[in-house]
Structure 1
Amino acid sequence: MKNFIKNIIAFSLKNKFFTFFWVGVLVIAGIVSFVKMPIEAFPDVTNTQIIIVTDWKGRSAEEVERFVTTPIEIAMNSVQRKTNVRSITMFGLSVIKIIFEDGVEDFFARQQVTNQLQNVELPEGVHPEVQPPYGPTGEIFRYVLKSNKRDTRDLLTIQDWTIERELRRVPGVADIVSFGGQEKIYEISVDPVKLQRYDLTPLELYQAVSKSNLNVGGDVIEKNGQAYVVRGIGLLDSKKDIENTIVDIFNGNPLLVKDVATVQETSMPRVGQVGLNENDDVVEGIIVMRKGENPSEVLKRIKEKIHELNTSILPRDVKMETFYDRDNLIAYCTHTVMHNLLEGIILVTVIVFLFMADWRTTLIVAIVIPLALLFSFLMLHLKGMSANLLSIGAIDFGIIIDGAVVMVEGVFVVLDHKARSVGMQNFNRLAKMGLIKTTGIQMGQAIFFSKLIIISALLPIFSFEKVEGKMFSPLAWTLGFALLGALIFTLTLIPVLSHMLLNKNVEEKKTFVTRFITRIVEKAFAWTYAHKRLTLLIAMLSFILTIFSTRWLGTEFLPQLNEGALWITAELPMSMSLSESVKLTKELRNKLSTFPEVKDVLSQIGRSNDGTDPNGFYFVQFQVNLIPKNQWRHGISMDNIVKEMD
């Protein structure tokens, strides 16, 4: 090991240009990796799960459970490597979630579920849908549609037939969830008296309309050397088409739908409703990101597509307005990380300068911090991992630079002794590479094994499984890569910089800080040595008090994250109707809007249109966007706002 460290230090000192070259390349690669690296608030700790949503409109929960949920559950019981199967059955909706073992790939799980789903016999017209892969933090963007001319029926039609199709083309988008609005349908109201007069049944009327709503293929006619494709067009496009559909022949005359029924444009029974500020009925779109994608890149593409929709695709009176943007959270996380890193670098640099009292040694030591972090970012990017507040926040700058401090301090002391023995003028003319090389080799062995011991202390974290492993393994990888980078730079770049910067006028100084600390430590040691039993008693009492005080120490699973918004839920009586829920929800929105710190309030009643968020009319969710914190009332905090709202 000694020869290995000796060769590394000797090669670096002999090839300074090459050392600076590869360090520069690493810096560029680290910066690029940091820019491209996904930044999350917290790691995704969930196992692979597949969600099956089945919509059977108009059917009771009991029927859906019996004919849809139960057959699918029975089929899913034979899926390999699953841990459990969970289901929710509601009026007209079945949602089944299959959760798999830790480490199961999404492709394997999806293939298993799809194969088993093909063997399930379901009622006619019922088609289960397997949801795309996304995680619990996949929701990255929310928008609402606004128009001064159209109602929510027209807006939802635009949302389903234009906006959703365009947004699904954006790479990285997993799903588009529509919430609120009225789904447009044509309703045929039958007159029983007229049906009896013409000896018809409602079923015959239904079958006549269904058979008319289709195109039929024909043949090819050749004429004048040209081929003409013949087909019959029968798709119903309007209310008038339905009214003029032939039901039967009565006394030699065609009997039309309008002769026995009235046709009107209406909407499907609503399963949820969205309100925004003073507006009780708006159309909301929720964009969900595919699992494993970079949210920054996906959001950039989404905003470009929304700009295209607003400027050149949508009608001029229809606009998509942003309500929630994950970029705000990413910016907050990035600001928090950079703020903490900058504070740490400044604090460590100041402390090193106070003890060493030389700008050159301080610079050499401090430069290791950003280089080690860039090395860590590069390794995380190559490993395909993302950065989060837990992993980056756990980096201890003191542990990172301790090796560099030992190396620089050792070289500095040896050079100072040499300068004192031969005189400063003679010292400035001496060649110092051999001295730095010898000292670096001596210090390098201790530094190498100390870093190795610290890195080995992270090995138990790598053995964690399930939630613990997904939560803390990014932390261990980030810190481990940073320590490895610091070790590499300590054995290569630090000797080179020491040889270049500590070439002249090296003098160890005793600052007031070191003199003060030395004096205090000497007095403390003399007192403790003279009072051994009392010292042990004080140490034991301090230990006991420390352990006992933990009972008043708060605990939390994850640190709180403030992204400038509040999420509020309200549960009403289970039997609450939609109209009554809308009425109460409006009152709650108005009360929340009275707070000076509140910018917008969006409410969601019930479930989304596609059933991916299964809830009844009794369940109401509010997203409260707040104004920037510097505009809040003086002295008020987030906790104060929450208490006032409660």
Structure 2
Amino acid sequence: MLSYIINFSIKNKFIVLLFTTFIIGFGLYSLSQIPIGAVPDVTNNQVQVITTSRNLSTQDMEQFITYPVELEMANLPGVIEIRSISKFGLSVVTIVFNDAMGTFLPRQLIAEKIKSSKRFPKVLVRQKWDITTGLGEIYQYILDVEPEFKNSYNAEDLRTIQDWVVKRQLSGIPGVVEVNTWGGFLKQYEVAIDTEKLNAMAISARDVFTALEMNNSVSGGGYIEKVNQAFFIRGEGLVSSLEDIRNIVVKNTDGLPIYIKDVAKVGFGSATRFGAITGNGEGEKVLGQVMMLKDANSKKVIEAVKERVAEISKSLPEGVYINAFLDRSELIAKTTFTVTENLVLGCLIVIFVLVLLLGNFRSGLVVASVIPLCLLFALSFMYIFGVDANLMSLGAIDFGIIIDGAVIIVEYIAFQITQKKLEINALSRTERQVFKDNITIKGASKMMNSAIFGQLIILIVFIPILSLSGVEGKMFKPMALTFSFALIGAMIFCFTYVPVVASLFLKPSNATHKNVSVKLMNWLNKIYEPTIDWALRSKKLVLGIAGTFLAISIYLYSTMGGEFVPTLDEGDFVIQPILKTGTSLSNTVKTATEIEKILLKQFPEVKQVVTRIGAAEVPTDPMSMEESDVIIVLNPKNEWTSASSKDELADKFKEALAVIPGMEVEFTQPIEMRFNELITGVRADIAIKIFGDDLDILAKKGNEIGALIENVPGAADVSVEKIAGLPEMNVQYNRAKIARYGLNIQELNDMVSMGFAGKSAGSVFEGEKRFDLVVRLDKDKRQDIDNLENLYVDLPSGGKIPLSELAEISYQKGAAKISRDDTRRRIVVALMCVIGIYNL
């Protein structure tokens, strides 16, 4: 079979060369189309059901949202694992599906299940499940202000610009699934009611709310035909300014109207915040996070985003600019450069060794020409089978192994042609080519079996890797596939392209001429022959030395330790400060700003520092207000002066930050942190999970384990997940008193929710911009537990009564976070290890 193919190739050289040209063309096309990334996306096939509700505590989110979602999803087909996190106002349920389920079917099943379920209350504010992965955060930026305009814009202005200018223009880019906003103050039109004035004028809070709803609407009345025209009727009753809101009538008493301005302060406010952004020690900023669609080409998407950012920058208000601090294209560029450099250098080294050892310049070039052809062949099949180009897939190609078969064939053909030099020279040009063709057919046919057998052995070695699944499969299968594609290409070229080129370009060489290659091989033989002779005469000694080295190797291997893959140096740091449970947002902002100032002042290696605090608008990363990610963007390593390695720099960072009392820090990297969290639900390298029902016992056992492993060698940072101790103002209703006054729990809860969290009574439009019109208590009336106790509730009989008469209100400690794995409550002891970093 192989001999027939070789014979056909020699007889039809034009077809073979045409086939080779097609491979070159399609390979170059594939190179321009293939997705290019830094590392394989090892995120499992998961869907995050994110639910937000501004009014529910951690326990309530767990009871009414998280647990019912878990129960509904447990019986869906293809579900492998379910884990969840419940926090104040936030529920994140992660459902991991079998990869064979695909991307869209799980989301469709989840949407249908949630829509048809009757388990969920009417408190859901938002539920969504974006189609993105751990590598989805491709571009992050902050809206910054030039120094001369610092006093012209505040965090609320920047948030409005982000929501209604930048975000809208970034949306719609192919490959972008979400533009997430983080930080700033979400602008609202606020009606801050004064309960004392309401009492004096016998007006209820519900009257105010109803008046706002009834005086902010639009309507239409069809049309009227007149003078051959249709005049459409439009009733425009939307409020458009603060003055319009102030002049809304709440009640008319004895012909005298009582306006909103008589019982409330009308102005601009902001929504309750669960997160913030600080940057470069300058205070609060606004962050935008561009999320990439799953399986999209990250390089192309980032290029499109950067082009759009350049366009948006021209339309921003004077003094405002987009400061991109985390751009995945930089890591991709470094990775691509590393892979390209390795491929080019490897190719040149192999060519040099080939020419040097074969002793024939033409033979060396013929074999060397197989290298780019195999690479283009592999790229073609990577494009066809959807394998991304990254550090793992392309970085593992070994050209020396790939060209083994070509070396055997070409060397033998060159030897045969040189042996028959006199016969070839005696023939005419046409006869000479026919004679060389026959030599090539016989030589290639004779050596092909050996060449194919060696290459098949290598292919068989990759079968176990190709059978891997899960995270291991996503990480290593691209490497095995790419190498296999290149090896298959080499096998095909060995009995098509190589014989054709060898018959056309190889010429007899001077067998008596001793060139550098011959002299080198003679010198190596002089060393090898006495060495092998001594080894054969000293069998026991050689075997003893080999056994000793084997024993030493086994011992060293048993003490080395190991890891899944070397940690990739992403070029940036992430510091995770650990603060006291229940720390206020303003205090976390203050601490983060202090961290940024210390790092920027003391370390010239630091280019920028941006801190993400708490949860974003779409909380894919569910952090509490005391939790934050301090993202440190570093200058190029050749500009470093304080340290020579990242581990050393991390130690110095930790020393410098030790001046901040009551704070511990953990070090990681952006992609590494995101992968750890999405795959295992924990950000750390090693996690110990403890399961149980009682949160207090879990917290106690977690602290005990944390203390035990704190001094384990190699444990860099140990932290215990904080699941209890969240400060709460607990309202315990007295049902007997509530029944006596003719009230119900729902009315009281609505009053508490509206008074402190605020309740939307409609929207106010500023052109295309849309802002909520919210009713809540005045800011001075929602500062302390006394304000909650003295919150007046409207009675059905007409009068008012303070909430303290209907409930016992006290300070308590509640659940800070409730985590589950497959419906079992758990606590995590996270361990960051001291590990080597693979530097690009």
| Superposed pair shares fold, TM > 0.5 | yes
Partner in structure 2 of residue 65 of structure 1: 62
Question: Gapped runs of 5+ residues in structure 2?
Answer: 655-840
State the partner residue of 1:260: 263
Distance in 2 (CA, whole Å) between partners of 1:425 and 1:56 is: 90
Separation in 1 of the partners of 2:143 and 2:292?
A: 20
Larger CA deviation: 109-118 vs 518-527: 518-527
Match of 1:228 in 2: 231
Aligned to 1:408, the other structure's residue is in SS state helix
Kindly indicate whether residue 26 of structure 2 is the aligned counterpart of residue 29 of structure 1.
yes
What is residue 406 of structure 2 aligned with on the other side?
404
Specify which of 624, 638, 642 is matched with residue 646 of structure 2. 638
Structure 1, residues 563-591: CA drift from partner, whole Å, max 9, x if none? Answer: 33222211111122222222221221122
The secondary structure found in structure 1 opposite 2:23 is: helix
1:28 CA displacement? 2.0
State the AA in 2 paired with 1:545: I
Distance 1:459 1:74, change over 3 A: same
CA shift, 1:407, in A, is: 0.7
Deviation per residue, 1:74-124 (Å, 9 max, x gap):
322332221232221212212221111232212110111000110244443
CA distance in 1, matches of 2:618, 2:396: 41
1:607 equivalent in alignment to 2:615:
yes
Partner of 1:345: 347
- 1:152 and 2:170 are equivalent in the alignment: no
Q: Please state how far the C-alpha of 1:405 moved relative to its aligned partner.
A: 0.6
What secondary structure, in the 3-state scheme, does the structure 2 residue paired with 1:45 have?
coil
- Trace 1:56-205 onto structure 2 (pairs within 5 A): 56-121=53-118, 122-124=120-122, 126-147=124-145, 148=149, 149-205=152-208
Report the counterpart of residue 391 of structure 1 in structure 2.
393
Matched residue, 2:328? 326
Query: What is residue 587 of structure 2 aligned with on the other side?
Result: 580
Q: Structure 1 residue 552: deviation in Å?
A: 4.2
Mapping 1:468-617, distance limit 5 Å: 468-505=472-509, 507=511, 509=514, 511-593=518-600, 594-617=602-625
Letter of the structure 2 residue corresponding to residue 434 of structure 1: N
Query: Equivalents in 2 of 1:428, 1:333: separation in Å?
Result: 54
Could you tell me which runs of 5 or more consecutive residues in structure 1 were left unpaired when the two chains were aligned. Answer: none
Q: How many angstroms apart in 2 are the aligned matches of 1:231 and 1:262?
A: 31
* Cα displacement string for residues 576-628 of structure 1 (whole angstroms, at most 9, x for unaligned residues): 22222222212211221121111111111212123222111221211111122
**AA matched with 1:201:** S
- Once the 2 structures are TM-superposed, how far is the Cα of residue 351 of structure 1 from its aligned partner? 1.8
CA contact (8 A) 1:217 1:230 kept: yes
Q: 1:308 — aligned with what?
A: 311
CA positional deviation for 1:158: 2.1
Of 269, 272, 280, which aligns to 2:272? Answer: 269
1:317 shift after superposition: 3.8
**What residue is the counterpart of 1:457 in the other structure?**
461
Equivalent AA in structure 1 for residue 418 of structure 2:
D
Deviation larger for 212-221 or 481-490: 212-221
* 8 A contact 2:246–2:266 mirrored in 1: yes
Q: For 1:408-419, what aligned pairs fall within 5 Å after superposition?
A: 408-419=410-421
Residue in 1 that maps onto 2:701: none
CA apart distance, 1:424: 8.1
The whole-number CA distance in structure 2 between the counterparts of 1:583 and 1:613 is 21
Match of 1:215 in 2: 218
- The equivalent residue for 2:367 is 365
Percent identity of equivalent pairs:
36
Whole-angstrom CA distance in 1 between matches of 2:46 and 2:465: 25
1:46-99 Cα offsets, whole Å, 9 max, x none, are 321111112211332222223322332332233222123222121221222111
Alignment CA distance shift 1:63-1:345 (3 Å):
same
Q: CA deviation at 1:442?
A: 0.8
**Offset at 1:480?**
0.6
How far off is 1:540 after superposition?
Answer: 1.9
1:154 positional shift: 1.6
Helix, strand or coil: the match of 1:573?
coil
CA-to-partner distance for each residue in 1:474-512, whole Å, 9 max, x for gaps? 111111100001111121121122122213435485533
Bigger mean CA deviation after superposition, 39-48 or 90-99: 39-48
Q: Is the 8 A contact 1:369 1:401 kept in 2?
A: yes
For residue 172 of structure 1, report the CA deviation from its aligned partner.
0.5
The answer as to whether partners of 1:141 and 1:286 remain within 8 angstroms in 2 is: yes
Deviation at 1:345, TM superposition (A): 1.1
3-state SS of 1:103 partner: helix
CA displacement 1:538-569 (0-9 Å, x = unmatched): 22222222222213435222223223322221
Inter-CA distance 423–624: structure 2 relative to 1 (3 Å threshold): same
Contact conserved, 1:198 with 1:250, CA < 8 A, in 2? no
Residues 216 and 232 of structure 1 are in contact (CA less than 8 Å); yes or no, is this contact kept in structure 2?
A: yes
Choose 557-566 or 396-405, whichever is displaced more.
Answer: 557-566
Q: Secondary structure at the match of 2:268?
A: strand
> Which residue type is aligned with residue 628 of structure 2?
V
Q: Deviations over 1:255-300 (max 9, x none)?
A: 2211211112121222111111131100010101000000111112
Give runs of aligned pairs for residues 412-431 of structure 1, distance below 5 A: 412-419=414-421, 422=422, 425-426=425-426, 430=432, 431=435
2:44 is matched with: 47
Structure 1 position 427, deviation (Å): 7.7
Correspondence for 2:725:
none
- Report the Cα offset of residue 526 of structure 1: 0.8
- Partners of 2:164 and 2:392 in 1: how far apart? 41
Amino acid across the alignment from 1:51:
Q
The code of the aligned residue for 1:470 comes to K
How far apart, CA to CA, are the structure 1 residues paired with 2:426 and 2:525? 32
Q: Closer, same or farther in 2 for the Cα pair 1:233/1:474, shift >3 Å? A: same
Distance 1:290 1:283 in 2: 23
SS of the residue corresponding to residue 464 of structure 1 reads coil
Moved more, 475-484 or 150-159: 150-159
Cα distance change, pair 546–252 in 1 and its aligned pair in 2 (3 A): same
Q: CA deviation at 1:635?
A: 7.7
> Could you list the per-position Cα deviations for residues 429-464 of structure 1 after superposition, in whole angstroms to 9, with x for gaps in the alignment?
643211111111111222223222321222222222
* Aligned AA (1:492): T
Q: 1:639 to 1:366 in 2, by over 3 A?
A: farther
TM-score of the superposed pair, with normalisation by structure 1 = 0.94
In the superposition, the TM-score normalised over structure 2's length comes to 0.73
Distance in 2, Cα, partners of 1:155 & 1:566: 26
Q: Distance in 2 between matches of 1:87 and 1:634?
A: 42
Higher strand residue share:
2
| Distance in 2 (alpha carbons) for counterparts of 1:70 and 1:191 | 39
Matched with 2:832 is none
Residue identity matched to 1:403: G
Q: How large is the Cα RMSD of the aligned pairs? A: 2.1
Pairwise CA distance, 1:344: 1.1
2:507 partner SS: coil
**AA partner of residue 331 (structure 1):** A
Q: Is the 8 A contact 2:409 2:448 kept in 1?
A: yes
Conservation of the 8 A alpha-carbon contact between 1:247 and 1:254: yes
Asked whether the 8 Å contact 1:427–1:504 carries over to 2, the reply is: no
Aligned partners of 1:208 and 1:247 also within 8 Å = yes
